[in-house]
Amino acid sequence: MAELRRRFPVSAAEAGHADLHRRALVGAGLVAGERARVVEVLDELERFVAARPELELLSARRGLRRSDED
């Protein structure tokens, strides 16, 4: 988590699977003025995690919200 926060302008935390051995659900979020910037940062973050030899990225999901949504 610390490496993600240090390297990328995101909030990151373990969000689940704490009861499973050697598995973690990681959540990351960020706010930007343009959608393209959010996509760019999330793309870089996903590539960074996937490239780590000590990790196996099983899946990645994204959800984008706009400030005018409820």
Total count of domains within the chain: 1
Indicate the pTM of the whole model: 0.76
Provide the phi-psi class of 22: left if phi over 0, else alpha when psi is between -120 and 50, else beta.
Answer: left
Cα–Cα distance measured from residue 1 to residue 15, given in angstroms and rounded to the nearest whole number: 11
Q: Show the domain range for 40.
A: 2-51
Encoded amino acid at 51, one letter: A
The reply to whether 14 falls in a domain is yes
The reply to whether 35 falls in a domain is yes
DSSP β-ladder status, 25-29 and 11-16? antiparallel
Q: What is the pLDDT of residues 18-51, one digit of tens each?
A: 676 677 788 899 999 899 999 999 999 999 999 9
The reply to whether 44 falls in a domain is yes
The reply to whether 12 falls in a domain is yes
Cα–Cα distance measured from residue 30 to residue 40, given in angstroms and rounded to the nearest whole number: 11
The reply to whether 68 falls in a domain is no
Provide the phi-psi class of 17: left if phi over 0, else alpha when psi is between -120 and 50, else beta.
Answer: left
